[in-house]
Chains A and B, each alone.
Chain A
């Protein structure tokens, strides 16, 4: 190697150093360590006992831990997110992106909940759901629908949906904004040409706008699904997994294992599973969105 090359590589290394130190030190090395811990029985303090894959087999077979239930809840949230939240976002993005009066104010208002801290949103919804004085029950009483009033977060039947509604509501604006940016990127000329050819608004959306913004839809779906798998904040504030584990998701189970039961090995196993699931779903969704060659190969 020439001396010049050596200096070049030293420079490259020095420029990369702060980012690499942060990234490897706090993300990559800990993931490896999590993987390592997950093969042990460990209370976080004393000696570590190697137990192979036992944490994983227990995780997937033990009813007491309820990981399947938690995973099921997360998948339910993901499904709600993809099939209800994203279509709402897409609808608003298409309407606003077309350029109507009041486009900017509507956009800004819809995006606002994304900026508010989840803890604040959670506290607000706690007050909305409060069984004695909450807004929801008070409204039902005023309307004479007393029979519908409910301890929304305290009943195992309603708690899950009651927790998921604010979660979905908060991020409608986020997905809308991403899609809106895509819709705005569709050239007005193409739109105009389609209109002249006699396409109506929904045909333009269906055959021109949506195919163009497909890459963004992919990103949105990935974010919605992985976001659901790792959802934590609102659930922690509203129910912390209760009542009777009805609203448990993987991250609340993980936190319970770690900090209430001091089962660090098991907590790590859950963390590892979550990483694997997030990556697996991201890959699966990317694959599902891949352009298929519909005309066959030449």
Chain B
């Protein structure tokens, strides 16, 4: 009896052991599927055409041609695209933060009829596709003569991240005890002072989450940037890279270098803040 029990247990251990191995093999294969394109991009950015086109497809470069990076940086305005992307993203983040903080304060802290409806109205923004406004916004910008400018991207980007901003802010703001508002009011603070002195400083974690979320939306957006910007002076990275690869159809090394330049800053930040970044994606979806 005791013996058969122990055999059965051994059998079970063996079975879970096999299962474990299978699971890990699958996990590792999928990890390679996700890492390989980035690895490949990095290695071919340092190779000559000769290597890329057959002699050394996926190995490390034989000769590390860093000057691919120099030519990518110097042709087609890469630094300009980079700076434009930074300007547009940072401005949009600032707008989203200000607008969503204030709106959330009005919705969750001030007492008035209709706050629920207004909140529901903003939440419509979560499902509205960005395409919805492309024609009218395009025409308005054209009539105002600001099609090729940073503004033409900053305001639409901010508008499309606003709903998520409010959603994230609400999640954080309801956690702040209402007693603090009470205490501030007794001390003679009006709503503006309470907002600025009491609430704002406690909302720092929300700021990080909103910034990350908005940043990723802006940094990678293609459709608006493609339609609204034709002047190379205002192109953002996605559009710039599109243009650059059109110029470099035959030489792959410098294109690879441009792709790496556009991607690696993000990946490096991700390595250090992966948890934070992941959280900023989860917060909205799980609460919505």
Contacts of A271 in B (CB 8 A): 131-132, 134-135
What's the Cα separation between A275 and B133 when bound, in Å?
Answer: 10
Which A residues between 8 and 22 are near B, CB-CB below 8 angstroms? 8-9, 11-12, 15-20, 22
Q: Are B103 and A16 within 8 A (Cβ)?
A: yes
Taken residue by residue from 43 to 75, chain B's Cβ proximity to chain A (1 for < 8 Å, 0 otherwise) reads as 010000000111001100000000000000000
Asked whether B27 is an interface residue with its Cβ less than 8 Å from the other chain, the reply is yes
Contacts of B163 in A (CB 8 A): 23
Q: Are A27 and B159 within 8 A (Cβ)?
A: yes
Asked whether A118 is an interface residue with its Cβ less than 8 Å from the other chain, the reply is yes
Q: Are A169 and B57 within 8 A (Cβ)?
A: no
Partner of B237 from A26, A106, A117, A219 at Cβ < 8 Å? A117
Asked whether A63 is an interface residue with its Cβ less than 8 Å from the other chain, the reply is no
What's the Cα separation between A278 and B125 when bound, in Å?
Answer: 12
Partner of A173 from B34, B121, B136, B155 at Cβ < 8 Å? B34
Q: Are B103 and A133 within 8 A (Cβ)?
A: no
Q: Are B127 and A279 within 8 A (Cβ)?
A: yes
Asked whether A159 is an interface residue with its Cβ less than 8 Å from the other chain, the reply is no
Q: List the one stretch of B1-9, B180-188, B260-268 in contact with chain A.
A: B260-268
Taking CB as reference atom, which chain A residue is nearest B252?
A127
Contacts of B25 in A (CB 8 A): none
Contacts of A254 in B (CB 8 A): 131, 134
Taken residue by residue from 30 to 43, chain B's Cβ proximity to chain A (1 for < 8 Å, 0 otherwise) reads as 11011101101100
Contacts of A219 in B (CB 8 A): 285-286, 288
What's the Cα separation between A219 and B282 when bound, in Å?
Answer: 11
Assuming A120-B259, A255-B227, A258-B135, is B159 touching A26 (CB within 8 A)? yes
Taken residue by residue from 169 to 195, chain A's Cβ proximity to chain B (1 for < 8 Å, 0 otherwise) reads as 100011001100110000000000000
What DSSP secondary structure best describes chain A's contact surface?
helix
What's the Cα separation between A51 and B134 when bound, in Å?
Answer: 22
Partner of B238 from A20, A102, A118, A173 at Cβ < 8 Å? A118
Q: Are A109 and B267 within 8 A (Cβ)?
A: no
Assuming A106-B31, A110-B34, is B262 touching A120 (CB within 8 A)? yes
Taking CB as reference atom, which chain A residue is nearest B220?
A117
Taken residue by residue from 225 to 264, chain A's Cβ proximity to chain B (1 for < 8 Å, 0 otherwise) reads as 0100110110011000000000000010011001100001
Interface size on B, residues (CB 8 A): 88
Contacts of A279 in B (CB 8 A): 127
What's the Cα separation between A29 and B140 when bound, in Å?
Answer: 11
Minimum CB–CB distance for A233 against chain B, Å? 5
Interface size on A, residues (CB 8 A): 87
Taking CB as reference atom, which chain B residue is nearest A5?
B112
Minimum CB–CB distance for A61 against chain B, Å? 22
Q: Are B122 and A23 within 8 A (Cβ)?
A: yes
Q: Are A115 and B270 within 8 A (Cβ)?
A: yes
Q: Are A18 and B259 within 8 A (Cβ)?
A: no
Asked whether A148 is an interface residue with its Cβ less than 8 Å from the other chain, the reply is no
Q: Are B106 and A117 within 8 A (Cβ)?
A: no
Assuming A18-B103, A223-B285, is B274 touching A108 (CB within 8 A)? yes
Asked whether A53 is an interface residue with its Cβ less than 8 Å from the other chain, the reply is no
Assuming A133-B52, A133-B54, is B281 touching A174 (CB within 8 A)? yes
Contacts of B38 in A (CB 8 A): 112, 116
Taking CB as reference atom, which chain B residue is nearest A169?
B33
Asked whether B216 is an interface residue with its Cβ less than 8 Å from the other chain, the reply is yes
What's the Cα separation between A108 and B105 when bound, in Å?
Answer: 34
Contacts of B23 in A (CB 8 A): 95, 100
Contacts of A92 in B (CB 8 A): 27, 30
What's the Cα separation between A21 and B134 when bound, in Å?
Answer: 17
Q: Are A118 and B220 within 8 A (Cβ)?
A: yes
What's the Cα separation between A272 and B242 when bound, in Å?
Answer: 28
Taking CB as reference atom, which chain A residue is nearest B111?
A8
Taking CB as reference atom, which chain B residue is nearest A22?
B159
What's the Cα separation between A50 and B126 when bound, in Å?
Answer: 32
Contacts of A133 in B (CB 8 A): 52-54, 252
* Chain B positions near chain A (C-beta within 8 angstroms): 23, 27, 30-31, 33-35, 37-38, 40-41, 44, 52-54, 57-58, 95, 98-100, 102-103, 105-107, 110-112, 118, 121-122, 125, 127-140, 155-156, 158-160, 162-163, 166, 190-192, 195, 216, 219-220, 222-223, 226-227, 237-239, 241-242, 245, 252, 255, 259, 262-263, 266-267, 270, 274, 277-278, 281-282, 285-286, 288
Closest 10 CB pairs of A and B: A30-B133, A19-B103, A15-B106, A26-B159, A30-B136, A33-B136, A18-B99, A119-B238, A19-B99, A117-B220
- List, sorted by A's number, 10 A–B pairs whose CB atoms are closer than 8 Å: A12-B106, A18-B103, A26-B160, A95-B23, A112-B267, A115-B267, A117-B220, A120-B262, A254-B131, A278-B127
* Chain A positions near chain B (C-beta within 8 angstroms): 8-9, 11-12, 15-20, 22-23, 25-27, 29-31, 33-34, 37, 44, 92, 95, 100, 102, 104, 106-121, 123-128, 132-133, 135, 138-139, 169, 173-174, 177-178, 181-182, 216, 219-220, 223, 226, 229-230, 232-233, 236-237, 251, 254-255, 258-259, 264, 267-268, 271-272, 274-275, 278-279, 282
